[in-house]
């Protein structure tokens, strides 16, 4: 019997109280076009059964929903009972094809919503569907014995902690379900990267290189390499994150002060923003590109984190704040279960929020066809914000990223960025940023624009 009471809607989970064919089809298309996911039909938003679904009617509704999806989407359905009431569980895998509804709409799962895409986003997504699902492929030459038993034990502890219940079935069943082992019990790319004893023996350059330079350039004054520290970090992805984060804390910690008997650490950059960028680079890089590792470069005026592979799916620099798409959903899910990722899809706006709160410029995002780089500048533009955590919604984070890139933003610019939101809501967003001392309002009426204060 499948328990859903502790579940809530998310990037990978949809809870549907009834079984309307159109809503069902929309969710099937959204999951297939994004990271895949699990549908629970006949439960409310808290995961409790509604008692509104019966086996006699559900098969016809499933067939209606399937006919609304083009091309067809395979769904593995399972019937369960909770407290004498029926719940239907459907598992959908990420598809290598682009799926639409019969009326032509294309949706993707973004957070807990099924989000429709615009024409340019559809074209961007379509161009990436043919690359295959690399992380789900088995690793040539690897066997079950190449997974590290201690890592698996640590993971199970974290999984049980997040799930709030013990793992009562064989571990390999969970690994197969999560896409970390094939049904033949061979490690997948995701499995060997997350749990391998020596992943780089099978996937070269899947580690990380950290370099600290003495100045603002890679070369010293004499033209020689100008670095003062260089570390090559290998191993499983959790080990890479943990080891790199330890080094980064040494490099960005300025010292500490004691106030009212409390020790307060001082940082060159807000640590939460840097850690988020590190985890994102490890989770979302293109592991098919084997000629280059993730690179962390620390200069006297900035810190850069660069990962191989351009932005995935329909993601662009312009929509990166409020859209979500995973190149490696099985790796992302593993790091989420391991608690390296606390909430799916919130990394970019958290980086912006933390940098602005600390008085720094918003991070700069740069993409090429084969790399994606986040740059943090340690310039202090304004006094750090004290007191409670800066409250900023995704739209406001997107506005700040726009100002950082273009120098200013107008109401019209903001409306084009967030075309599905009312002008009055957007006006209040900008006014709120002005009241918080983040933006400065310049001009009046139609000539009004906003800049960083």
Lowest mean pLDDT among 118-132, 202-216, 291-305: 118-132
pLDDT given at position 203: 95
Strands 37-41 and 13-16: parallel
**Would you list the domain boundaries of the chain?**
13-116, 136-201, 208-377, 394-452
Q: What angle do CA 287, 291, 294 make, to 5 degrees?
A: 60
pLDDT given at position 229: 87
The continuous run of DSSP H or E covering 161 comes out as: helix 149-163
User: CATH topology of 13-116 equal to that of 208-377?
Assistant: no
Is the link from the previous residue into 71 a cis peptide, with omega within 30 of 0? yes
- Please state, for a pLDDT cut of 90, what percent of the chain lies above it: 41
How far CA 63 is from CA of 15, 60, 73, 158, in Å, comes to: 19, 5, 11, 39
Lowest mean pLDDT among 164-173, 227-236, 435-444: 435-444
Given a cut of 50, whether residue 388 has pLDDT beyond it is no
State the sign of the Cα–Cα–Cα–Cα dihedral 281, 285, 290, 291. negative
Highest averaged pLDDT of the listed ranges 80-84, 270-274, 396-400: 270-274
Burial annotation 160-182 (CB, 10 A radius, 16+ → b, else e): eeeeeeeeeeebeebbbebbbbb
Q: What is the pLDDT of residues 43-74, one digit of tens each?
A: 888 778 888 878 878 888 999 999 999 999 99
Q: Which residue has the higher pLDDT, 245 or 343?
A: 245
Angle, helices 271-284 vs 329-337, to 10°: value is 140
Say which CATH class 394-452 falls into.
mainly alpha
pLDDT given at position 14: 92
Domain topology for 208-377: Heat Shock Protein 90 (3.30.565)
Give the pTM.
Answer: 0.71
> Alpha carbon 234 to chain centroid distance?
22
Beta-sheet strand order (sheet of 208-213): 227-233, 208-213, 294-298, 302-308, 371-377, 364-368
CA dist 332 and 207 (Å) reads 16
How many Cα atoms sit within 13 Å of 84 on the Cβ side?
Answer: 0
CA dist 84 and 60 (Å) reads 22
Mean pLDDT of the chain: 85
CA dist 427 and 424 (Å) reads 5
| CA-wise closest residue to 14 among 32, 44, 40, 36 | 40
Mean pLDDT of 111-119: 85
pLDDT given at position 357: 82
pLDDT given at position 389: 42
C-beta of residue 349 within 8 angstroms of C-beta of residue 317: no
Q: Is 107 exposed, middle or buried (0-12, 13-18, 19+ CB in 10 A)?
A: buried
Given a cut of 60, whether residue 109 has pLDDT beyond it is yes
Q: What is the pLDDT of residues 173-188, one digit of tens each?
A: 999 988 999 999 999 9
Q: What is the pLDDT of residues 135-190, one digit of tens each?
A: 989 999 999 999 999 999 999 999 998 888 899 999 999 999 889 999 999 999 99
C-beta of residue 128 within 8 angstroms of C-beta of residue 176: no
The continuous run of DSSP H or E covering 258 comes out as: strand 253-259
Domain topology for 13-116: 3.30.950
Given a cut of 60, whether residue 125 has pLDDT beyond it is yes
State the sign of the Cα–Cα–Cα–Cα dihedral 191, 193, 198, 203. positive
pLDDT given at position 280: 93
Per the structure block, which two tokens stand in for 5?
């009471």
């Amino acid at each position: 019997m499948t328990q859903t009471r502790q579940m809530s809607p998310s990037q990978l989970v949809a809870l549907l109280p009834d079984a309307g064919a159109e809503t069902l089809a929309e969710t099937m298309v959204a999951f297939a076009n994004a990271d895949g996911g699990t549908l629970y039909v006949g439960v409310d938003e808290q995961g409790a059964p509604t008692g509104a679904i019966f086996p006699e009617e559900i098969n016809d509704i499933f067939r209606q929903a399937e006919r609304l999806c083009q091309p067809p989407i395979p769904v593995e359905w399972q019937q369960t009972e909770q407290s004498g009431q029926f719940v239907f569980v459907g598992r959908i895998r990420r598809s290598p094809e682009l799926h639409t509804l019969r009326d032509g709409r294309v949706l993707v799962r973004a957070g807990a919503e099924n989000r429709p895409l615009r024409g340019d986003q559809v074209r961007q997504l379509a161009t990436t569907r043919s690359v295959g699902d690399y992380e789900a492929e088995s690793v040539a030459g690897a066997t079950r014995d190449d997974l590290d038993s201690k890592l698996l034990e640590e993971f199970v502890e974290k999984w049980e902690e997040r799930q709030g219940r013990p793992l009562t079935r064989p571990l390999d069943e969970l690994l197969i379900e999560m896409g970390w082992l094939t049904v033949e019990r061979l490690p997948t790319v995701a499995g060997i990267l997350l749990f391998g004893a020596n992943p780089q023996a099978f996937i070269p350059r899947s580690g990380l290189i950290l370099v600290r330079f003495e100045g603002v350039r890679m070369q010293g004054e004499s033209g020689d390499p100008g670095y003062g520290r260089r570390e090559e970090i290998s191993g499983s992805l959790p080990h890479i994150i943990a080891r790199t984060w330890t080094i980064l804390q040494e490099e960005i910690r300025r010292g500490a002060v004691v106030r009212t008997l409390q020790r307060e650490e001082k940082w060159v950059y807000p640590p939460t923003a840097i850690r988020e960028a590190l985890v994102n680079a490890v989770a979302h890089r293109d592991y098919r590109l084997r000629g280059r590792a993730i690179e962390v470069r620390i200069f006297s005026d900035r810190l850069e984190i660069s990962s191989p592979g351009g932005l995935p799916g329909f993601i662009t620099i312009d929509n990166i704040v409020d859209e979500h798409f995973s190149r490696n959903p099985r790796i992302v899910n593993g790091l989420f279960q391991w608690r390296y990722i606390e909430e799916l899809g919130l990394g970019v706006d958290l980086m912006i929020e933390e940098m602005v709160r600390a008085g720094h410029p918003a991070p700069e995002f740069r993409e090429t066809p084969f790399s994606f780089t986040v740059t943090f500048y340690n310039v202090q533009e304004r006094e750090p914000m004290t007191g409670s955590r800066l409250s900023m919604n995704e739209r406001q984070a997107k506005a700040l990223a726009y100002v950082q890139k273009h120098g200013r933003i107008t109401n019209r610019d903001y409306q084009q960025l967030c075309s599905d939101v009312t002008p009055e809501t957007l006006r209040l967003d900008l006014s709120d940023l002005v009241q918080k001392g983040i933006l400065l309002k310049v001009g009046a009426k139609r000539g009004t624009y906003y800049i960083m204060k």
